[in-house]
Structures are given as C-alpha cells and as structure tokens.
Amino acid sequence: MCLTIGLRTAVHKVLLNICRFFARLARVVASSVVPGPPERQIHHSGDMRALRLTNWKSDPELVEIDEPTPGPGQVVVRIGGAGACHSDLHLLYDFEPGAVSWKTPFTLGHENAGWVHTLGTGVTGLTVGQPVAVYGPWGCGACERCRLGIDTYCENPAAAPTPGGGGGLGADGGMAEYILVPDARHLVPLPDGLEPVHAAPLTDAGLTPYHAIRRSWRKLTPGSTAVVIGIGGLGHVGIEILKATTAARVIAIDTRPEALRLAEECGADLAIAAGDDAAGQIRHETRGRGADLVIDCVGANSTLALGAASTRMMGDLTIVGLGGGTLPVGFFSVPYEVSIQTTYWGSRPELVEVLDLAARGLVRPRVVTFPLDDAPAAYQQLHEGKLNGRAVIVP
C-alpha cells in the first residue's frame, strides 16, 4: 500500500529526538529478532504503553493506557511483533474527520503476532503462551462471507466490532504490549519454526499479495509471466510467493535501485527500472504478448497506466496499492478480455497457507525491527522511502 504525505516539521523532529532519549534511559527494548515470549514487564495499575492515533491528520502519540482484560470469547495476546504499513500513513495524515466511521483515539498496528496471554471464558483450543498470528479484519462473524473466513468482505459491517476495520483500523491494534482480540476465531496458531516477529508482517504484507496471486493461479502456468510493480513491504513478499507457488517468470518494477536489488534477492527473474520504456521492455521480454498477471502495489496514475500497457490479452491486472490513481477503461483502452480488479487483504484460510509457506522457508519477509519507543521513527523512514523491507515494532 503506497501513498504520499508531507514532511513533518523541524520542531516535531527535535521533540521526537528528546522523547527517544528519555525513553531509552527509562527502558531498553531489544530491536533484534525475539526468539520467544520475553519475561512479562511489571505494569503499575494495569497500565501499558501504546502508539495511538489520537486525532485525525496528526502524528501518533506514545501514551499509557489500561492493559486490556478479555470478556467471554475474547483473548488478550502479548505482542511479539507489529508491522508498520503504508496504509497507516494514510490513516495518520490523509483522513479527514468523518471520512470513515471509526472514532479516535485507537492504537495503531494491524499486522500482529505474539503469544496468548489471557483467555476469556468459553475460549477453547488455545493455551496461554501459545504463539499466534492475529487475522486483522474483524467482520460480523455471521454473514456468508465471514462464515467462510473472508471477513474483509463482510456483508453486515454494522454488526462488526469496528465496521469495515479491525485491530489497528478503528479498534485498538498491536503497537502496544498487548492487544485484545474480540473473538478467538481471529487467531491462527503459528506453525513450528515461525517466530511472531516474522509472522506479524505476513498477516498483511504476505496475505495481501498471496490473495491477489492465488486468484490468478490458473493463468500462471509454465511459459507465463507475472509483473510486480512496487517492491516495498508487499511487493518483495509477492515475488517470493510467485516463485514459491507458480511456474511464472517474474519481472519486478521500481524506481529505486535498492528495491530492484531486493527484488532480485527475492527471486525475480528480471528487474526493470520504472520509466517511459518499462512497458516496452516488458513487451520485449514476453515476445510482444505482455504479462499474464500484473500486480500493482502502488496504485498511482503512472503505475496503473504501466499495468494496462503491460498486461496480456485475457490477463489479469490486480490493484492492491492505495496510491489514489485512476485508470480509464474503454473498449480500446486496455487489451481485450483483460480483467481489472482491486483486492483487499485476504481470507483467514489463506493466512494459514501463507504461514505454512513461511514456516517452510519458502516465504521470508525482510524485517527491520524497531522498539516501541522508535515506532514514530519507523513511520518517518517509511514515508521517506528509506526502508528496504518491512518495519516491525517489537514492544
């Protein structure tokens, strides 16, 4: 997911550095891979720290809030990792009050994994200390889509805990020491060999491209080509998923040399710098036919136009990026029988499949960890395009 925000002011940067200095004096948080559940911190009066959106179009704030207590059917998870996503920047700085039904304040972080901490009454099938991933979208649980585990497309959002959202999207997310999950069905046990810090980004940065790719599997036979535009948090995982689950040749497109190098490390067969001749190069590499699948992880006007110019007749152009672009569609504007679709996240059964791929070493997101104190700095780096991979906050 990709979007553009304005640079924060110099005053904000000075205050942020001061806050970081005193926070580091107060507590040391490891920024490396967490091998297992660390010893529980002592909280006075049930307080915990959380990075929260307190008002629309404002910087997030690191504050103390009450530690959650589970009700019937609910589960509290101790966070081992929470991914920082470009869509969070959209939440922070682009949404006007009233644009969505969600109310501030709420804790950020919709890519979460950790360990079961407390079980509400009636919860079965989970044990305290068990490593789990949190399925992010929280639907009503009763409609046809939710019963299939496709909460992203809940058909009765008014009955959901947070209409159209989930943890970190209207409800309290995982950029805190604990997260309250409103229904145990949203938890997926982690397979052996997969730690929460690596599982967390898979719940979105892995699940979103996996869903987009899976729906086109039948077109990705030997001799086919798939193009991934935008090699960021989602794009680099998408390349790994394509190589792990299809026979397609994979072409990566990005403006940044370091992103193209990352694409090659992830298995891309060819990396092409975005530019006026990118579509021509894709056509040349596919003997004039175009790509059977183009996944646009940016969604800007220029990338949508590139995707339309690069897709093969009867191919798929799938838009997962939130760049705000538009694509005119008319009889002669795109190749014949090209299917153009947007996708949103993925299903709970698909998350199980993604986690299995990761546990077997077939999909491994490039993770850059930050302590909770430095979560604002992670978002700044994300905005400035300085991250190569996925930022994960480790409380």
In the 3-class helix/strand/coil scheme, how is the chain assigned residue by residue?
Answer: CCCCCCCCCHHHHHHHHHHHHHHHHHCCCCCCCCCCCCCCCCCHHHEEEEEEECCCCCCCEEEEEECCCCCCCCEEEEEEEEEECHHHHHHHHCCCCCCCCCCCCEECCCEEEEEEEEECCCCCCCCCCCEEEECCECCCCCCHHHHCCCHHHCCCHHHCCCCCCEECEEECCCCECEEEECCHHHEEECCCCCCHHHHHHHHCCCHHHHHHHHCCHHHCCCCCEEEEECCCCCHHHHHHHHHHHCCCEEEEEECCHHHHHHHHHCCCCEEEECCCCHHHHHHHHCCCCCEEEEEECCCCHHHHHHHHHHEEEEEEEEECCCCCCCCCCCCCCCCCCCEEEECCCCCHHHHHHHHHHHHCCCCCCCEEEEEHHHHHHHHHHHHHCCCCCEEEEEC
- Comparing CA positions, the residue from 263, 82, 102 lying closest to residue 176 is 82
Q: How confident is the model at residue 358 (pLDDT cuts 50, 70, 90)?
A: very high
Q: Which tokens belong to 91?
A: 């939440």
Least confident of 7-21, 322-336, 352-366: 7-21
Q: Which tokens belong to 80?
A: 């081992």
Domains of the chain with bracketed CATH: 10-204+348-394 (3.90.180.10), 208-342 (3.40.50.720)
Q: Which tokens belong to 146?
A: 């939710």
What percent of the chain clears pLDDT 90, i.e. is strictly above it?
82
What is the per-residue pLDDT for 95? 87
| pLDDT exceeds 80 at position 129 | yes
Q: CA geometry: angle at 50 spanning 189 and 373, to 5°?
A: 105
For 386, counting Cβ atoms within 10 Å of its Cβ (0-12 exposed, 13-18 middle, 19+ buried), the class is: exposed
Question: Do residues 139 and 145 touch, judged by C-beta distance below 8 A?
Answer: yes
Query: pLDDT of 90-124, one tens digit each?
Result: 889 988 888 888 999 999 999 999 999 999 999 99
* Rounded CA separation 270/59 (Å): 38
- Comparing CA positions, the residue from 286, 288, 241, 248 lying closest to residue 266 is 241
Average pLDDT (235-261) is: 97
| pLDDT exceeds 70 at position 269 | yes
Least confident of 35-49, 51-65, 196-210, 274-288: 35-49
Q: How confident is the model at residue 132 (pLDDT cuts 50, 70, 90)?
A: very high
Average pLDDT (377-388) is: 89
First to last CA, the chain: 24
Q: Is the model more confident about 369 or about 7?
A: 369
| pLDDT exceeds 90 at position 221 | yes
| pLDDT exceeds 90 at position 26 | no
Residue listed under structure tokens 């929470």: 82
- Comparing CA positions, the residue from 29, 65, 37 lying closest to residue 50 is 65
State phi, psi for 152 to the nearest 5 degrees.
-60, -30
What is the per-residue pLDDT for 90? 85
Question: Do residues 319 and 342 touch, judged by C-beta distance below 8 A?
Answer: yes
Question: Do residues 310 and 340 touch, judged by C-beta distance below 8 A?
Answer: no
Least confident of 44-48, 150-154, 259-263: 44-48
- Comparing CA positions, the residue from 25, 174, 32, 198 lying closest to residue 107 is 174
Query: pLDDT of 147-183, one tens digit each?
Result: 999 999 999 999 999 988 999 999 999 999 999 999 9
| pLDDT exceeds 60 at position 24 | no
